[in-house]
Chain A
Amino acid sequence: GQNIDQPTEMTATEGAIVQINCTYQTSGFNGLFWYQQHAGEAPTFLSYNVLDGLEEKGRFSSFLSRSKGYSYLLLKELQMKDSASYLCAVEDGSYQLTFGKGTKLSVIP
């Protein structure tokens, strides 16, 4: 079966850095995605990792270690608008994405 774990909730201060972890155990692996979802809205794509290492995109970075079944999303210079849920998802080669339950991030002043 597929199992993707991420913390349920996190709180961080405006201007700070926060790391959201994701561990996965899946029958196959063809890439890992991070999505952002604001309350009441649709998920939107943030990043994709298929090889080990760090992918940087502005204030957001995502890291992957395939041997450890581990990824993290790093958000720098946090802004209030970053308050949202962050979803980790694995594509296992069957065209399907399996999502974790999401991490609700609250950014406080």
Chain B
Amino acid sequence: DAGITQSPRYKITETGRQVTLMCHQTWSHSYMFWYRQDLGHGLRLIYYSAAADITDKGEVPDGYVVSRSKTENFPLTLESATRSQTSVYFCASSPDPTSGNEQFFGPGTRLTVL
């Protein structure tokens, strides 16, 4: 399907386990982003990528790892999940965010860490 997709949509895991959230976009947008959304905090940027093999930290990167070997994919890995990482995670993409281009958001992954 065209657009931006995330998988899984829902995930329950246990403290200490590794979890990978997938994000795929079909527009060949250069920029991709990972956010988490929590009550009382709004959307906070975890990591972003300006192109394949180029990634950088956002506001809340601790405990997360990203990679971008292909333009269309931007997986987010929680190496050892903690309860504080229970959240809704959104992936987004944009052709060039500095030129007034909007970010297009995926449907989100709701992650619960027990």
**CB-CB under 8 A for A42 and B100, given A101-B40, A101-B42:** no
Once the chains bind, are A43 and B98 in contact (CB under 8 Å)?
no
Once the chains bind, are A45 and B98 in contact (CB under 8 Å)?
no
Contacting residues, chain A, for B31 (C-beta < 8 A): 95
Q: Give residues in A with beta carbon < 8 Å to B.
A: 30-31, 33, 41-45, 48, 50, 87, 89, 91, 93, 95-102
- Contact-residue bracket for chain B: 20 to 34
Which residue on chain A has the smallest CB distance to residue B39? A101
**CB-CB under 8 A for A96 and B45, given A45-B102, A48-B102:** yes
Query: Can you show 12 pairs from A to B with CB atoms below 8 A apart?
Result: A30-B98, A33-B102, A41-B108, A43-B43, A45-B104, A48-B100, A87-B43, A93-B98, A95-B48, A96-B45, A99-B42, A99-B43
Once the chains bind, are A42 and B105 in contact (CB under 8 Å)?
yes
Q: How far is the CA of A99 from the CA of B35 in the complex (A)?
A: 10
Q: Which residues in window 93-114 of B have CB below 8 A to A?
A: 97-98, 100, 102-108
